[in-house]
Amino acid sequence: MVIYFLLFPMIAMIYLMTLLLRQKAQIQKTIFCVLTFGTLGFISASRASSVGTDVTLYENIFKSINYGISAENNWGYVIYNKLIGSVFGYTGHEITAANSVLITILIGIFIWKVAEHYFVATFLYISLFYYATSFNISRQFIAMGLVLVAISFALDKKVMPWFILTVLATLFHATAIVAFPVYWLTKVHWDVKKTLSIFPITIFASFIFDAILNIFVRFFPHYEMYITGTQFNISDQGQGRVVLVKIFILLILFTLFLFYKKSYALISECHQSLIALTTVGLSIGIVFYNNILLNRIEMFYSILSIVFIPIAIDYISLKFKQKDAVRLMLTIGILLITLVPYYIQVSGNYSGILPYVIQQ
C-alpha cells in the first residue's frame, strides 16, 4: 500500500526539481509532465495481473482477439489490440503495459495543455482516485483520455481535432458518445444561472432516464450488463462514500459562485466552459450516484475536477487582499482533505489494487 502514498512526495520532488532548473515556465511544465507521467505509466505498466479487478479479463480479451476468437465489437479497440499483439506478442501482459502507457500519455497531454497549476492537477488526479481507477476499466480510461485531449482542442475552438478524437474515443468505448455535446457547450456564454441550471436539467432527466437508457441499450446491447447488475466489481463499489467527494467539490463550486455572483464576466471564457463541463459531471454523479452506468458516464466530465479545483482556488483567492497567502492555504487545505477519501479507498482496496506486485 505504501507505493500509492509515495506517489505524492515523488511528484513533489519532481516539481521542486523542475523549479530549481530555472527554465522558462513552459519548459518546466514539459519536464514535469514527462517525468511524472512517465513514472506513473511505468508503475502502472509494471504491475502484475493481480493488481486490479479486471486486468486478467482485459488480458484474456487481448489474447482472444489476437487468436481470432473474440466477440469484442468496439472495433477501434480490436484494431488497437491486434496492433499491440503483432508488435509485442500476445502472452497477456503486453496489453496491460500498453494500456497503462497510453492512458498516462493522454492524461499527461491534457494536463500539459490545459492545467495552469499542473502540480496541483496531477496531485488531484492521484488523490481523487482517478489514477488507481485507471488500473481497471482501462478501455474506458483510454476513451476518457482521448476525450480530455479532444476537450483541450474544443476549448481552443479547433473543431476538426476535437471531432476526430471524440469519434476515436467512441471506437474504444461506446459511452464516449456522451462527450459529443462538449464542443457546443464550450460555445455557450456561461453565467452563474446558466451553470446552475444544469442541476434541474439533470434532475428532470432522471425522470425520463429509463426511456433514454432503453434507446441507448438498443444501439449498444452489450452495455445491458450495467443495468442488470451482473458485472459489478470492486471498482464499482462504495459510490455512497464517493459521492461525498463530489459534494465536497460541489461546495467549492458554490463558493466560487458566491464570490462571483455579480462579476462572473471576470472569469475567462475558457474557465467558464471548464466550470460548466465539470458541473455536468458533478450533477450526474450526485443525482445518479447509485446507477453504475451513469457513474461510468459522468467520469468523462467529472475528471475535469482536477483542473477545475485549482482554477476555483485562484479566483476565490483574488477576492482577498492577501491573495497569495489565501491561495496557498486553500490549496494545502483542499489537497489534504482529498487525502482522506484517498486513504479510505486505497486501504479499503476499492479497485483491487492491493497488494501491488511487479510483473515477473
- Which stretches of the chain score pLDDT less than 70? 216, 220-241
Tell me the C-alpha distance between 246 and 244, whole Å.
Answer: 5
Total domains, the chain: 1
286: nearest Cα among 233, 244, 339? 244
The pLDDT, as a whole number, for residue 235 is: 43
| Domain annotation covers residue 353 | no
Residue 252 domain boundaries: 2-347
| Domain annotation covers residue 317 | yes
Tell me the C-alpha distance between 150 and 157, whole Å.
Answer: 11
Tell me the C-alpha distance between 272 and 294, whole Å.
Answer: 24
| Domain annotation covers residue 358 | no
Q: What is the pLDDT of residues 293-325, one digit of tens each?
A: 888 899 999 999 999 999 999 999 999 999 999
| Domain annotation covers residue 293 | yes
DSSP H helical ranges for 21-92: 25-45, 55-66, 75-88
The pLDDT, as a whole number, for residue 209 is: 77
The pLDDT, as a whole number, for residue 225 is: 56
The pLDDT, as a whole number, for residue 75 is: 87
- Residues sharing a CB contact under 8 Å with residue 95, sequence separation 6 or more, in sequence order: 58, 59, 62, 81, 84, 85
The pLDDT, as a whole number, for residue 289 is: 85
The pLDDT, as a whole number, for residue 43 is: 98
- From residue 178, give the alpha-carbon distance in Å to each of 99, 121, 226: 22, 23, 16
- Residues sharing a CB contact under 8 Å with residue 174, sequence separation 6 or more, in sequence order: 74, 219, 220, 223
Contact at 8 Å (CB) between 110 and 305?
A: no
| Domain annotation covers residue 322 | yes
Q: What is the pLDDT of residues 116-157, one digit of tens each?
A: 999 999 999 999 999 999 999 999 999 999 999 999 999 999
Q: What are the φ and ψ backbone dihedral angles of 358, each rounded to 5 degrees?
A: -80, 140
- From residue 82, give the alpha-carbon distance in Å to each of 38, 77, 95, 194: 24, 9, 10, 45
| Domain annotation covers residue 253 | yes
Contact at 8 Å (CB) between 53 and 233?
A: yes
Q: How far is CA 271 from the centre of its chain?
A: 18
- From residue 91, give the alpha-carbon distance in Å to each of 42, 137, 148, 211: 19, 20, 31, 42
Question: Cell 509485442, residue?
Answer: 88
What is the value of pTM for the model shown? 0.93
The pLDDT, as a whole number, for residue 301 is: 97
* 194: its cell numbers: 446558466
The pLDDT, as a whole number, for residue 32 is: 97
